[in-house]
Amino acid sequence: MKLAISAMEGHINAEVDPRFGRAAFFLIVDTDTMAVQAIRNPNLEALLGAGIQSAELVAREGAEVVLTGECGVYAFDALSRLGVKVVTGVTGRVADAVRAFTKGNSSFASEPNVACPPTCSAADCSACQSAPAPSGKDEGATEADAVSAPEDLERLIRRITEEVLKRLGQPGARTIPEAETQEKITVPSKKKLHPGLILAIVSGKGGTGKTTVAVSLALSLKEPVNFLDCDVEEPNAHLFLLPRYTDTRMVPVSVPVFDLNRCDYCGQCADFCRFNAIAVANGKLVFFEELCRSCEGCFRVCPKDAISEGEREVGRIKVGETGALRFYGGELHVGEQAVGPIIRQLKTIQDGKEINILDCAPGVGPAVLSSVWDADFCLLVTEPTPFGLNDLKLSAKALEMLGVPFGVIINRDGIGDDEVERFCDDNEIPVLLKISHDPEIARGYARGIPLVRQDMKWIPIFQRLWEAVQERCV
């Protein structure tokens, strides 16, 4: 019988590595001959699915049992489905662990003994970041203008996200090197591109009043409005707009369907999948749907034509009405991560002649950039605090790089300092509206009452804001 033991080093006296998927080495020990083969784990730095790939590796080496410290959900599932038993909680030297097993002093685990960390979203994954940038850009055009296909857009968004974070620091870190923060921002100027107008409402972080502004502006306009809730992970605009729903549209993504009668278990699909969603070993094929990013690559590499295209629903778009306002609310299903397909489907709606108001996700991640890249104008909602300023800089830089013109709205004016205004002055960023700090507004928000319904005085204020937007993008 062959054992696979996770080890810190490549010899029999090494310590057992407590990690399975990211163990430094696997020692394959033949208990009949006590021959030892050391394999350096190639999955140590894997971004996703290290446990699944390590399971496939040891199964391909013929191991029937794994001895390790900790085994996560995916690795345990993959090992079980590939016919490999697992002993967890193993510590000490590899030689002692093997001896204990051969003496019958080990028992097989019936379940994983450690929870898996949440998997990355596809857009966060850097596995394909070496792909070439979009080409064919005209001189003077923004990079966003050169985007012609969804793949180009995804690459562009990844690059801009990385660039922004590199220049201005990670938002989570809350520290920005002084020299980098002094970089000037130039507000792009671009003529209106669309027959109607696409206006995106964004904020560097959640809780700054982005939805308050989006909803109040939409309700203040006399013209027909398409309201798109693009904050698909945490949609909440419907709580204020209370639309009467008329339709629900499913958002599917493609997933592989395996025909095991055709499959010869060559493993080419598993080798191709950079998200480690497939494992092939021991005449078995294991597919982890949750890790699949619908790249469709495995469909193409299969030499036996054993993979066809299936569908998986990742979210939906709820369609409704509130007076003359048409509401489209994207919703990601619980446990799913495929934000992009929902936003892409939402954005097909905005091509009409009406005004389109997009309530975007907070931050400057791919979900936001996918929403705003072709907007005619962006309203950046912030608050006058150091965190607000930090997040405003990140958002402003991203919009500058996308070539989308923007202005700022300062919410809760009066709670902090004047650094946001100073930043806007220094960079000639227009501050189009200030909303004073008022606990009444917060109380109304908590009860789901839009600002313009709390007090009619806000309607002309938002109408003037709309005029200011139009002046800047027509």
Site of interaction with ligand SF4 (CB under 6 A): 256, 258, 263-269, 272-273, 275, 277-278, 280, 285, 292-298, 302, 304, 306-307
Question: Cα dihedral sign for 242, 243, 249, 253?
Answer: negative
With contact defined as beta carbons under 8 Å apart, do 95 and 16 qualify?
no
Q: Which is nearer to ligand SF4, 145 or 154 (CB)?
A: 154
Going by C-alpha positions, the residue among 77, 87, 83, 80 that lies closest to residue 116 is 77
Q: Give the nearer residue to ligand SF4 in terms of CB position, either 303 or 460.
A: 303
Q: Which is closer to ligand SF4, CB of 30 or CB of 296?
A: 296
Check if the beta carbon of residue 23 is closer than 8 Å to that of residue 6.
yes
Q: How far is the CB of 16 from ligand SF4 (least distance, A)?
A: 31
Residue 263 Cβ, how far from ligand SF4 at the closest point, in Å? Answer: 3
CA-nearest of 116, 44, 109, 43 to 73 is 116
- State the angle between helix axes of 73-81 and 50-60 in degrees (0 to 180), rounded to the nearest 10: 30
Output 12 or 253, the one with its CB closest to ligand SF4: 253
Q: Least separation, in Å, of the C-beta of 298 and ligand SF4?
A: 3
Q: Closest separation between CB of residue 212 and ligand SF4, Å?
A: 38
Least distance to ligand SF4, CB of residue 309, Å: 9
Give the nearer residue to ligand SF4 in terms of CB position, either 272 or 387.
272
Q: Residue 206 or residue 283: which is nearer to ligand SF4 going by CB?
A: 283
CB of 113 or CB of 268, closer to ligand SF4: 268
- By C-beta, is 56 or 376 nearer to ligand SF4? 56
In whole angstroms, the minimum distance from the beta carbon of 120 to ligand SF4 comes to 13
> How many Å is the Cα radius of gyration of the chain?
27
Specify the residue, 1 or 257, whose C-beta has the smaller distance to ligand SF4: 257
CA dihedral 455, 456, 459, 460 (to 10 degrees): -120
| Closest approach of ligand SF4 to the CB of residue 265, in Å | 5
Which positions ≥6 away from 47 have C-beta within 8 Å?
120, 125, 126, 127
Q: Least distance (Å) from ligand SF4 to the CB of residue 300?
A: 9
Smallest gap from residue 31 Cβ to ligand SF4 (A) = 30
Q: How far is the CB of 160 from ligand SF4 (least distance, A)?
A: 23
- For residue 99, give Cα distances in angstroms to 3, 29, 163, 211, 328: 11, 11, 53, 63, 63
E-strand spans in 68-196?
85-87
- E strands, 272-343, are 278-281, 284-287, 307-322, 325-332
CA neighbor of 268 nearest in space, from 285, 290, 282: 285
Of the pair 311, 417, the CB lying nearest ligand SF4 is at 311
3-class secondary-structure state, position 458: helix
Closest by CA to 392, choosing from 375, 403, 406, 373, is: 406
Among 220, 221, 223, 216, which Cα is nearest to 237's?
216
* CA–CA separation, 356 and 197 (whole Å): 6
What sign does the dihedral 152-153-159-162 (CA atoms) show? negative
